[in-house]
């Protein structure tokens, strides 16, 4: 992969990376489409990264279908698939991790303590292996996008990070490889995530400035679903993820909710300005 | 710096980095000479890295003389000096660190708990800024060299790491920018480091296989100096730095000794094979 990218760079091509864990859905394919706008050579990495799963999480269960992914990548116009196996990526004596001191102390980092260390580490590795000029990440994993932007700035990677909007099912559910875990009943209940964000936007547009009131309303409506277990519903600064006390500038509303073993996330920027 | 290296790479040049903290001595210049053997464009970085100094260490006191360093670099045939200021390297909101789980749990890492995190982080940053094909490090900082080799392998940097031998004063003292701190009396006493390593080599060549006996003998001779305060004297595996119980293969003998506020280190590989 490094030799291929060296060659592409020497011949003046712009390399763009789309890191994924595979089991591709239209959300991923929108990242590939975005990548094609920014470069000549689009590399999709497919790697279910053990380092970003904690004990008891769904590493083994995580859905995989390489043949289908390959066909989808080809169709979407990707030029290269980089799909290493875990023993190559984490070899004998592996011991080096990229850690962040502040961003992981919020949102998903609280219930998934090793997650962002795993993300920052594997993305650093992918950057060094694929040597891209740019990389595209989905805004659905908003905190992940912030973490990557911070790693790139802090570690001086010469790589442009491009965020791409959330892609949703027709009824509003944010696309995720994990949606495949949902029973039909949970799939219906799971609409509460996007609906809470829609409702919050309406409330802000109608002049609500108290983040606590918006948060409580969302909590109530989510907890009214029989199987929803809230991990967090948070309104916070979209750059630092620190809590906010009033809605006088754009804030991030982010939520994580479990249905059985399936943990779903969603988010939206709420902008109080007219 | 990134644009300069991109240009050098596109024009087919091999870029070699020599990272230093400045106040250059013949040891550093031997690294530049080594670098010139491996590439077309030698970049010397000069940066006293705050992240690798703990509280109470000698960050402020560390000797600096940029004009002298620049003249020495020119004379030694370096092509570029990269000398950033700390506020550029650690900007507002800085929070990302490269950490290793095992190697820092030995030798200097025990008395300098943040040191190797700072080293691994700044070297990662320098690699991303200078984009070298290869980098040269001195074997005097043996543990540092191991840490860098591990970071390169674990994080998939496409960079060759070259270790260069210790350069010594005529009487045997390993060259170090910190030697300048020594009083004439401490300078004389400091010879005990290299002498202990010489003596250990003689003992191993004479058939000694007990690392404890060699260690005790070194401790006794060092502690016989009136102002020597031993941090560690260790015989260990040269790859993992784990302690060894017998000398049936090459081992690393490493030591750290303080004279007043000045902490000196030295090391040698002891090879029992004839």
Map tokens 């100094």 to a residue. B53
Burial B142-161 (b: 16+ CB within 10 A, else e): bbbbbbbebbbbbbbbbbeb
pLDDT tens per residue across span B9-44: 999 999 999 999 999 999 999 999 999 999 999 999
Q: How far apart are CA B15 and CA B7, in angstroms?
A: 11
Characterize the bridge pairing of strands A251-259 and A228-236: antiparallel
Q: Which of residues 199-238 of A touch B (CB under 8 A)?
A: none
Secondary structure E strands in B191-261: 228-236, 251-259
Output the six-digit token pair for A197: 């964000």
Chain A residues inside the 8 Å CB shell of B94: 154
Output the six-digit token pair for A200: 């919050």
pLDDT at A273: 84
pLDDT tens per residue across span A64-84: 999 999 999 999 999 999 999
Q: Checking phi first, is residue A260 left (phi over 0); if not, alpha (psi -120 to 50) or beta? A: left
Residue A234's pLDDT band, with cuts at 50, 70 and 90, is very high
Q: How far apart are CA B107 and CA B124, in angstroms?
A: 22
**What is the nearest CA distance from B6 to chain A, expressed in angstroms?**
10
Using a 10 angstrom Cβ sphere, with 0-12 exposed, 13-18 middle and 19 or more buried, the burial of residue A74 is exposed
Chain A residues inside the 8 Å CB shell of B99: 96-99
Residues of B belonging to the active site: 28
Q: Which of A95, A155, A240 sits opposite B124 (nearest CB)?
A: A155
Which pTM does this prediction carry? 0.97
Q: In what order do the strands lie in the sheet with B80-82?
A: B80-82, B41-46, B15-20, B134-138, B160-164
Burial A4-40 (b: 16+ CB within 10 A, else e): bbeebbeeeeebbbbbbbbbbbebbbbbbbbbbebbe
Residue A263's pLDDT band, with cuts at 50, 70 and 90, is very high
Which of B11, B51, B87, B155 is the best residue to mutate to test the A interface, defined by the most A CB atoms within 10 Å of its own CB? B155
What is the CB-side half-sphere exposure of residue A156 using CA atoms within 13 A?
19
> CATH assignment of A177-268, given 3.30.1300.10, 2.70.70.10, 3.10.20.30, 3.10.20.740?
3.30.1300.10
Q: What does DSSP assign to residue B245?
A: S
Q: Which of residues 95-114 of B touch A (CB under 8 A)?
A: 95-103
Q: How far apart are CA B141 and CA B175, in angstroms?
A: 11
Chain A residues inside the 8 Å CB shell of B9: 9-10
Yes or no, beta carbons of B153 and A102 under 8 Å apart: no
Q: What does DSSP assign to residue A96?
A: E
**What is the nearest CA distance from A12 to chain B, expressed in angstroms?**
9
Q: What does DSSP assign to residue A201?
A: H
Using a 10 angstrom Cβ sphere, with 0-12 exposed, 13-18 middle and 19 or more buried, the burial of residue A80 is middle
| Positions in chain B whose pLDDT score sits under 70 | none
Map tokens 């892609």 to a residue. A167
pLDDT at A37: 98
Kind and range of the H or E run holding A153: helix A142-154
Domain locations in chain B? 2-164, 177-270
Q: What does DSSP assign to residue A170?
A: T
The total number of residues written for chain A in this structure? 274
Q: What does DSSP assign to residue A209?
A: -
> CATH assignment of B177-270, given 3.30.1300.10, 3.40.50.10800, 3.30.430.20, 3.90.226.10?
3.30.1300.10
> CATH assignment of A2-164, given 3.50.30.30, 3.40.50.620, 3.40.50.20, 3.30.70.20?
3.40.50.620
Average pLDDT for A212-216: 98
CB contacts < 8 A, A to B, total 86
Q: What does DSSP assign to residue A167?
A: P
Instruction: For A240, name the nearest residue in chain B, comparing CA atoms only.
Output: B93
Yes or no, beta carbons of B101 and A91 under 8 Å apart: no
Map tokens 């990242």 to a residue. A31
Chain B residues inside the 8 Å CB shell of A98: 96-99, 155
pLDDT at B199: 98
Q: Which of A39, A24, A146, A19 is nearest to A84 (CA)?
A: A19
3-state SS class at B200: helix
Yes or no, beta carbons of A131 and B158 under 8 Å apart: yes
Chain A residues inside the 8 Å CB shell of B98: 96-99, 155
Residue A222's pLDDT band, with cuts at 50, 70 and 90, is very high
**What is the nearest CA distance from A153 to chain B, expressed in angstroms?**
9
Residue A274's pLDDT band, with cuts at 50, 70 and 90, is confident
Average pLDDT for A77-102: 98
Phi first, then psi: what are they for A64, rounded to 5°?
-135, 140
Helices (H) then strands (E): counts for chain A: 10, 9
Burial B228-254 (b: 16+ CB within 10 A, else e): beebbbbbbebeebeebeebeeebbbb
Q: Is B7 on the interface with A (CB under 8 A)?
A: no
Are B2-164 and B177-270 the same fold in CATH? no
> Please, are residues A52 and A119 in contact by the beta-carbon 8 Å criterion?
yes
* A113 alpha carbon, distance to own chain's centre: 16
**What is the nearest CA distance from B104 to chain A, expressed in angstroms?**
10
**What is the nearest CA distance from A166 to chain B, expressed in angstroms?**
27
Q: How far apart are CA B166 and CA B176, in angstroms?
A: 10
* A169 alpha carbon, distance to own chain's centre: 16
Question: What share of chain A has pLDDT > 70, as a percent?
Answer: 100
pLDDT at A7: 95
Q: How far apart are CA A142 and CA A243, in angstroms?
A: 15
Strand partners, A163: A137
The total number of residues written for chain B in this structure? 274
Which of B128, B152, B153, B237 is the best residue to mutate to test the A interface, defined by the most A CB atoms within 10 Å of its own CB? B128
Q: Is A2 on the interface with B (CB under 8 A)?
A: yes
């Amino acid at each position: 992969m490094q030799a291929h990218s060296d060659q592409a760079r020497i011949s003046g091509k712009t390399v763009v990376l789309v890191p994924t864990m595979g089991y591709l859905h239209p959300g991923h394919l929108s990242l590939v489409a975005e990548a094609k706008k920014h470069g000549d050579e689009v590399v999709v990495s497919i790697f279910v990264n053990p380092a970003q799963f904690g004990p008891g999480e769904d590493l083994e269960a995580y859905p995989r279908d390489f043949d289908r992914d390959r066909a989808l990548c080809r169709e979407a116009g990707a030029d290269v698939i980089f799909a290493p196996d875990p023993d190559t990526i984490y070899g004998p004596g592996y011991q080096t991790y990229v850690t962040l001191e502040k961003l992981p102390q919020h949102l998903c980092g609280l219930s998934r303590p090793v997650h962002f260390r795993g993300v920052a580490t594997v993305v650093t590795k992918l950057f060094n292996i694929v040597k891209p000029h740019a990389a595209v990440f989905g805004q659905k994993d908003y905190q992940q996008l912030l973490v990557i932007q911070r790693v790139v700035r802090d570690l001086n990677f010469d790589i442009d990070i491009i965020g791409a909007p959330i892609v949703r099912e027709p009824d509003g559910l944010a696309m995720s490889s994990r949606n495949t875990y949902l029973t039909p009943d949970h799939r219906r209940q799971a609409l509460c995530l996007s609906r809470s964000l829609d409702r919050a936007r309406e409330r802000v547009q109608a002049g609500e400035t108290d983040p606590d009131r918006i948060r409580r309303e969302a909590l109530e409506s989510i907890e009214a679903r029989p199987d929803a277990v809230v991990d967090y519903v948070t309104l916070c600064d979209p750059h630092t993820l620190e809590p906010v006390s009033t809605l006088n500038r754009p804030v991030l509303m982010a939520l994580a909710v479990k249905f059985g073993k399936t943990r779903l996330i969603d988010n939206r920027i709420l902008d109080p300005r007219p």
